[in-house]
Amino acid sequence: MLKRLMVGLVSMLLAVLAMAQTSTPILLAPQGGEVSLSGRMQWLEDVSTRMTLAQAHTAAGWRPLAVLPDFGYTRSAIWLRLTVEQPPQAVSDWRLEIDNAQLDDARLYRFGPNGSWQEQRIGRFVPREDWPLNSRTPTFGLQLPPGSHTLYLRLQGEHTLSSGIHLWTAEAYRVHSAYEALIFGGYFGMYAIVIVLQIFFWTMTRESRGGWYLFYTLVLLAGTLLNSGYPQNMLDLTSGTSTLFGVYLCLAPTAIARLTAVWLELDQHLPRLNRIYQYGSYGVAVFASALVLTDSYLVGVQLSQVSTLVLVLVSFGLGLCLWRRKVPHAGFYLLVFGFIDLGILARFLRNLGLLPVSFITDYALFIGITLHLLAMSLYFIYRYNHLHSSLKVEQRAREEQQDFVNMVSHEFRTPLAIINTSIQQLVANLGAPIEKTLQRGQNIRNATQRLAHLLDDYLSMDRLDSAHQPVKLISCDFFEVIEDATSDWPLGRIKIHVKDLPSPFLCDPDLMRIVLRNLLANADRHSPADLAIELNVSGYPHGGLHIRLQDHGEGIAPDELSHLFQKYFRGRGSKGKPGAGLGLYLVQRIVHAHGGTIEVQSTLGQGTTFSILLRPGPLRRA
């Protein structure tokens, strides 16, 4: 009986001492809700980690805590103290939440109604079934009747002790938890979408950049899941997750190092630094993991955190260096990975106790990852569309190449067949009449001219496609260019009108002959033989030249006009007629290479008119 009385007196004395040493009590609102604890608690450092509640009561080292706990990684135990004042007829069911899913050991002490101190314990050392509440983060249940209540909270562990601490009514906590679960659900859903997109993209392209980014995303997801506390809560995981999380913290930076090296192509641009950068990251990660696995958890994790900060800064510096060298993808790396780098820096500095615990530092990493994943998803969608378009262009180029080969084969085969047949006839009929012999000779001449013109077209196209100067300007007599281009046609077929030609005129005469010859050949194929083709060439006072060529043939259908200058395009009127679909394409490119313009007007059944304007001035790339 006397023993119980003494215990009761000691407990009451401790309670009085506790209330005397606390700061101004926190007045709880009658309607409840969340109560801010920032700057309203006191703290005490227990370096020995052996201090009892009674010793903590009487200790002289209590100090005001200006913000929420931001003690980082420490071997000490941290005591927190707060006093709350519950008004009459207020909500009595409360929750004290510690927003740190990796917390090893948390103990809450409060003076109970039976006159003794009551202890609740939570953390990874406590089986989940013994937790006061089924929650993803350590949360205590409190019954606070009207009056003053002093709470003592003891925190200890190998993980960071920087933690947000929230006091809620039970209803407010329930609403908050539901809202939080909804946000995390959307967050992990976004991860799932991004991963599916990455798998699809990598399967389609097999790009190493896409494959390593997929691995990097999976590493981020694993860390986010462990840090959220949901897997531990759902699977009743306790002590085993601490070592797992520690090894993850040590090895995760290797994904950053590898992705940075692949993305920035460090092996090509900075090969020596690339080896130091990657092997150094891998070596530190393995060494830190070994420390975690050999009961030096705190040292290993702290080493990993510091090395990760250095790695992030070095990675950003490498990106900045290569961006200044105008290396592809470096600018995008700085933009997109900058989001997550800032989040990592803020989170790690918070974990180390160098930044205060707040909403920004608590969720900086989540916000950074969200922005990063959204930006990367947009990038890979753009990248896929770009590759898809490039593939279509490449496929179209292969089809055009095949069409070109077929056309060239046909175009060369026809004049060669004419030459071969005419020679055979000449040899077999040496005594044939002179008229037939002359006709066969003319056939051979026409066929060789056709071959020469085809070769001119193909060689001119290759010349225009070359990286060297495609147009060689010289001063020339443009009338000689006209005469040379029209010499293949009989007199009367082409009516030439020349007026005020600039002398000399600066152009590439070989290419301009091809322009005139191709336009005339096109008009000749599509015009009646008894109607002349009109070629008008006139000069301008400023030194320019206007070329107008008109035929009175069948004309061009309106739906074909927009395709007229496309490579290998042949209209419906060209069926059964010679041509490879290169003539007008070359005409436009040569005119543009001279800084000129070309227009076409056509009416079905009446003919077609081409107008070329050549202005003196700088050349343009064909």
Per-residue model confidence as pLDDT tens digits over 29-53: 777 778 888 888 999 999 999 999 8
Return the minimum-mean-pLDDT range out of 135-149, 227-241, 261-275, 351-365: 227-241
- Are 84 and 151 a contacting pair, CB within 8 Å? yes
Per-residue confidence at 11, pLDDT binned at 50, 70, 90? Answer: very low
249's enclosing H/E stretch is: helix 240-263
- Are 166 and 34 a contacting pair, CB within 8 Å? yes
Residue at token pair 């990455």: 198
Specify whether 476 is located in the same domain as 595. yes
Specify whether 73 is located in the same domain as 126. yes
pLDDT above 70 covers a percentage of the chain that reads 86
Amino acid at 477: D
Residue 72 has pLDDT above 70, yes or no: yes
Identify the domain boundary among 347, 374, 392: 392
Per-residue pLDDT at 10:
40
Spell out the residues 6+ positions from residue 259 whose beta carbon is closer than 8 angstroms to its own: 212, 213, 215, 216
Specify whether 126 is located in the same domain as 203. no
Per-residue pLDDT at 180:
84
Specify whether 531 is located in the same domain as 552. yes
Residue 453 lies in a domain: no
Regarding pTM above 0.85, the answer is: no
Q: Give the residue ranges of DSSP H helices in 43-98.
A: 53-58
Specify whether 30 is located in the same domain as 127. yes
Residue 521 lies in a domain: yes
- Are 277 and 266 a contacting pair, CB within 8 Å? yes
Tokens, residue 228? 């959220």
Interval 165-195: pLDDT, tens: 889 888 888 998 888 888 888 888 888 888 8
Specify whether 183 is located in the same domain as 118. no
Residue 604 has pLDDT above 70, yes or no: yes
CA-CA distance, 390 to 174, in Å (whole number)? 53
Top pLDDT among 275 and 32 is at: 275
CA-CA distance, 303 to 291, in Å (whole number)? 9
Residue 526 lies in a domain: yes
Residue 104 has pLDDT above 80, yes or no: yes
Per-residue confidence at 147, pLDDT binned at 50, 70, 90? Answer: confident
Across 489-500, average pLDDT: 88
Which is it for strands 77-86 and 41-46: parallel, antiparallel or unpaired?
Answer: antiparallel
Spell out the residues 6+ positions from residue 519 whose beta carbon is closer than 8 angstroms to its own: 549, 583, 584, 587, 610
Residue 418 lies in a domain: no
CA-CA distance, 541 to 563, in Å (whole number)? 34
CA-CA distance, 74 to 376, in Å (whole number)? 37
Return the minimum-mean-pLDDT range out of 275-279, 433-437, 481-485: 433-437
Return the minimum-mean-pLDDT range out of 294-298, 509-513, 608-612: 294-298
Identify the domain boundary among 392, 417, 437: 392
Specify whether 306 is located in the same domain as 266. yes
Specify whether 155 is located in the same domain as 228. no
Specify whether 153 is located in the same domain as 211. no
Residue 311 has pLDDT above 50, yes or no: yes
The DSSP symbol for 272 reads H
Per-residue pLDDT at 279:
92
Specify whether 90 is located in the same domain as 228. no
Residue 443 lies in a domain: no
Please provide residue 15's backbone torsions phi and psi, each rounded to the nearest 5 degrees.
-65, -40
CA-CA distance, 31 to 26, in Å (whole number)? 15
Per-residue pLDDT at 612:
94
3-state secondary structure 325-340: CCCCCHHHHHHHHHHH
Taking each continuous run of H as one helix and of E as one strand, the counts in the chain are: 16, 18
The rounded mean pLDDT for the chain is: 80
The DSSP symbol for 89 reads T
Per-residue confidence at 456, pLDDT binned at 50, 70, 90? Answer: low
Identify the domain boundary among 120, 152, 169: 169
Residue 427 lies in a domain: no
Residue 18 has pLDDT above 70, yes or no: no
Residue-level length of the chain: 622
Per-residue confidence at 404, pLDDT binned at 50, 70, 90? Answer: low
Across 285-314, average pLDDT: 86
Amino acid at 302: Q
Q: Give the residue ranges of DSSP H helices in 352-433.
A: 359-428
Strand-pairing partners, residue 598, are 612
Per-residue confidence at 242, pLDDT binned at 50, 70, 90? Answer: low
Residue 609 has pLDDT above 80, yes or no: yes
Specify whether 151 is located in the same domain as 221. no
609's enclosing H/E stretch is: strand 607-614
Domain boundaries, position 60: 2-169
Residue 509 lies in a domain: yes
Per-residue confidence at 535, pLDDT binned at 50, 70, 90? Answer: very high
Tokens, residue 566? 């496309």
Output the domain CATH number for residue 102: 2.60.40.2380
Per-residue confidence at 412, pLDDT binned at 50, 70, 90? Answer: low
The DSSP symbol for 548 reads E
3-state secondary structure 423-474: HHHHHHCCCCCHHHHHHHHHHHHHHHHHHHHHHHHHHHHHHHHCCCCCCCCE
Per-residue pLDDT at 8:
46
Q: What's the CA angle centered on 303, arms 302 and 306, to 5 degrees?
A: 85
Per-residue pLDDT at 617:
54
Residue 495 has pLDDT above 90, yes or no: yes
Query: Directed axis angle between helix 271-293 and helix 297-324, to 10°?
Result: 160
Specify the number of domains making up the chain. 3
Tokens, residue 34? 């969340």
Residue 197 lies in a domain: yes
Across 423-431, average pLDDT: 77
Specify whether 338 is located in the same domain as 204. yes
CA-CA distance, 203 to 167, in Å (whole number)? 49
- Are 410 and 382 a contacting pair, CB within 8 Å? no
Which is it for strands 147-156 and 93-99: parallel, antiparallel or unpaired?
Answer: unpaired
Query: Directed axis angle between helix 509-525 and helix 434-465, to 10°?
Result: 120
How far the first Cα of the chain sits from its last, in Å, is 108
Output the domain CATH number for residue 572: 3.30.565.10
- How far CA 306 is from CA of 162, 342, 426, 508, in Å, comes to 16, 15, 93, 67
Residue 331 has pLDDT above 60, yes or no: yes
Residue 408 has pLDDT above 70, yes or no: no
CA-CA distance, 278 to 258, in Å (whole number)? 7
Per-residue pLDDT at 394:
81
Helix (H, G, I), strand (E, B) or coil at 344: helix
